[in-house]
Each structure stands twice: as structure tokens, then as C-alpha cells.
Structure 1
Amino acid sequence: MKIMIVEDDPTIREMIQLALTKWSLETVIVDNFDHVVQCFIHNQPHLVIMDINLPSYDGFYWCQKIREISNVPVIFLSSRDSPMDVVMSVNMGGDDYIQKPFHMDVLTAKINALLRRTYSYSDMLSDVLEHEGVMFHPEKGILSYEGGKAELTKTEVSILKILMQQKGKVVDRKKIMRHLWQDESFVDENTLTVNIVRLRKKLAGIGKENWIVTKKGQGYMVP
């Protein structure tokens, strides 16, 4: 199991990391507090430990962003003692709230309990694809970049999914069409071209122009 620690106090961060390592839990340390969601998507943790008081944006903000793409358990840490913070942590999608200073045995017990409860039923990891800041949620058909969002059709979702899964490689037009036929979509050469044009317009609309590159005589790619 992988635990992501979002804590700007290095002493507390290292203390948590050491304790979790003793429990044979893998840890991911966030060191750039402007890219918490990107770190989450890249590492796909099973649980997040989130401090509330963070630089730039607070833990409530980042929990809300994570909740847009995943249901993994989130435990809030805070030195605040206001009941409103507990209420906020629940409203923002938190699963538990621990006030500082805390005993490490209490934190590890809560982590293990949440992991057992969550993953004994289902795997709740996000299926979000991310590349160059573009976040794509195939299940929801949502594409986002720097605050901009676009909704994709089923065919557009299928096309972008295969391109992002093969990022950096040219995907042959015929391969894309075969992939779409499996999804029971009627696609010929013209239909594929039209959908690529629409995808490019939607990407341009959220600030990503020329993101899908045409390789003449070969196919398309996301570089």
C-alpha cells in the first residue's frame, strides 16, 4: 500500500514516513505544494495524509481537487482546534481528522483501519490520465487544463484515451479505427478526421493548441 504525505513541516513529515515504513507501507512525499494533484495522479496512492495549513492553497482545497478524480481515503492533520475545521474536513471529503500534536500509534491505527475498510471492498484508485498538465478522466469524459474544462463525446474519449496511453508514439489511423470499432462506434476515415478536428478544437478551447500532432502518412500522436 502506498501513502502520500502532504505535510510542510519536515520534522512531522519525516516522523510519519519513518513510522509508516516500519509498517511496510510505501510513502510518497510531496515537496512541491503547488502540484499536489499532479503528484497524486503520478503516484496513485492508496491513502493521503493531508495537513490543513499548507503554502499557497490549504489542505481543504487540495482534498476537494482530489475528490474530483478519486475516492481514496484522506486523513486531515491540523494544529487547529476549531469544531468548524472538523466540519470542513468532512464537507470537503475527508475520511478522518487528527489534531496535532498526535500520537503516532493513533495515526497508524487509523491508517490501517481505513485501508482495510476501503480495499476489502473495492479498488478505488483514480483512472485519470495526465500529461503536460492536461488531466483526462475517461470515465467521466472530462478534459481539464489550468482551470479550463471540456466535455468529450464517447468517440472523442476513445480516441484521446488511446493517444494518451501511447503518448510520445505515433498511433496509426487504422489502429485507432479498429479500437473504435471494438467500442461499437461506426468510424471510417472521414469520421476519424472529423473527430480529431473536434478534439483539437476542444483542446484549444482550454489552452492546449496543436497538442495532437499529425504525422503525415502515419497517424497521430500526443508528444
Structure 2
Amino acid sequence: MFKILLIEDDASLFNEIKDRLAQWSYHVDGIDDYQKVMEKFAKVRPDLVIIDIQLPKFDGFHWCRMIREHSNVPIIFLSSRDHPTDMVMSMNLGADDFIQKPFHFDVLIAKIQAILRRVYNYNTEATELKTWLGATVDFERNQVANEEGTIELTKNEMYILQLLIERKNKIVSRENLINRLWDDQRFVSDNTLTVNVNRLRKRLGEIGLGDAIETKVGQGYVAKEQTEQ
């Protein structure tokens, strides 16, 4: 049974989500004290976190930052606001998806299932190490390391990198990436993929591989087999 930590202060919505997820055999925990979110996170050790943006004490962005300091657990944001910047900020902070309220519960379930299937099936299968551009890519630990250092990627970032490395020096279309990542492109915006790739490129830049993923305008992305000297 997958454990989900639902950080939502609307009691009515919390109970409705919890009841719906229970029908799919998910165990849902909530927050009693919004000053002790991280304590509850450490106690529950969830497989996935769902966070509302507007919360007492601190907003959801704050708690996403705190969680990302300790864990790469998948995170889905909920928001009743319709600002595009909320989605961009969520992705930049390491969230895996963003759902705007009001939402259809079938969409929420589909997103949860896709993320859990991708993250946990992927982790159990991709346990080998790969070498790419002189760096060691550890799929199990979500790490990339070379002489310049070691970076830790989110689940989405690592999965994107894996898909690109599988086809080194070949173009992987945006449509292919979206379908592989989210199973059904109706449930994801084109902008979400752009944010994830840009974030991955920025992280790779920390170890001198910022130019290793090339954008092919109107086509997709390429993981280079060698970088420019």
C-alpha cells in the first residue's frame, strides 16, 4: 500500500480526497500542526506528497523547499490560483506535477498512478550505472558524478536524462518525452516539459555538463555523446 502525505488545510476537501484515494488502496495521512510539517513527513515517510499552495503559517512552496532538502519523494501541487507563475515556480522547486482546483478526481488519480508507476517501477528496474561524457550516472540513487562533483536529480529529471541517454546523439521528440513521462499528454502542459528540461540542464551545469543536452527547435532534445571543446 502506497503512503501519501496530503498537506491540505481545507478539511472538507482533505476528507474527500482521502476517501477517494482509499478506494484505490492508498493510505493517506494529513497534518495536525502546520508548524510541524517536517516532523510529520519524517514520521510518515510517504511515497508521494500532495501539497496545497495556500496553507497556514507557511505556504506550500516553503514546505516543498524543505522536503527537497531531505528527499526526492514525488510531489504534486494543488492550487486554486490560476497564475502561470505558480506552475513554473512549482516545477523549479522540484515538484513532479501541478493540478489546479477545481479538478476532476479521475485526473488526480491518473496523475498519482502515473507518477508512482514511473518512479517506483523505474527505480527497481534501472539499478545499473551508466557512463556518459565521463560522468557516472547512478539511476538507483538519482545521482550524476564526475571529477567536478556530484549532483542529485529529482525523479523526473533523472527519467528525462535516462530517456535522452538511451538515444545518445539522436533527437528525442517532445511528444515522445511527454508520452513516456506522463503516459497521456492530455494531463500535462507543454510548458511543464520545458521547465523540467531547463531545470535538468541547470543542474548538469553544476558539474560542467550544461551544454550536454541540446535543444533542436521544433523537434526535441539531444543528449550529446561528446561536448564542445
- Normalising by structure 1, what TM-score? 0.54
Superimposed CA distance per residue, residues 39-98 of structure 1 (whole angstroms, 9 cap, x where no aligned partner): 111110000010000011000000110000100100000000001101110111111000
Letter paired with 2:79? S
Partner of 1:107: 108
CA shift, 1:121, in A, is 2.1
Partner of 2:60: 59
CA distance in 2, matches of 1:111, 1:44: 17
CA shift, 1:34, in A, is 1.0
1:11 partner SS = helix
Superimposed CA distance per residue, residues 151-199 of structure 1 (whole angstroms, 9 cap, x where no aligned partner): xxxxxxxxxxxxxxxxxxxxxxxxxxxxxxxxxxxxxxxxxxxxxxxxx
Partner of 2:16: 15
Letter paired with 1:60? F
- Runs of 4+ aligned structure 1 residues displaced above 6 Å come to none
Aligned ranges 1:40-79 → 2 under 5 Å:
40-79=41-80
Partner of 1:132: none
Partner of 2:5: 4
- Normalising by structure 2, what TM-score? 0.53
CA distance in 2, matches of 1:7, 1:61: 14
2:123 partner SS = coil
Aligned ranges 1:107-186 → 2 under 5 Å:
107-122=108-123
Superimposed CA distance per residue, residues 125-164 of structure 1 (whole angstroms, 9 cap, x where no aligned partner): xxxxxxxxxxxxxx9xxxxxxxxxxxxxxxxxxxxxxxxx
1:54 partner SS = coil
Letter paired with 1:95? D
Q: Once superposed, what is the RMSD of the aligned Cα atoms?
A: 1.3
Letter paired with 2:61? F
Query: Are residue 25 (structure 1) and residue 8 (structure 2) matched?
Result: no
CA distance in 2, matches of 1:99, 1:31: 24
Structure 2 unpaired stretches of 5+: 125-140, 142-229
CA distance in 1, matches of 2:71, 2:123: 13
2:77 partner SS = strand
Partner of 1:92: 93
CA distance in 1, matches of 2:42, 2:20: 24
1:121 partner SS = helix
CA shift, 1:32, in A, is 1.2
CA shift, 1:16, in A, is 0.5
CA distance in 1, matches of 2:35, 2:122: 33
Instruction: Look at both structures and tell me which one has the larger radius of gyration over its CA atoms.
Output: 1
CA distance in 2, matches of 1:103, 1:19: 11
1:120 partner SS = helix
1:33 partner SS = coil
Q: Percent identity?
A: 53
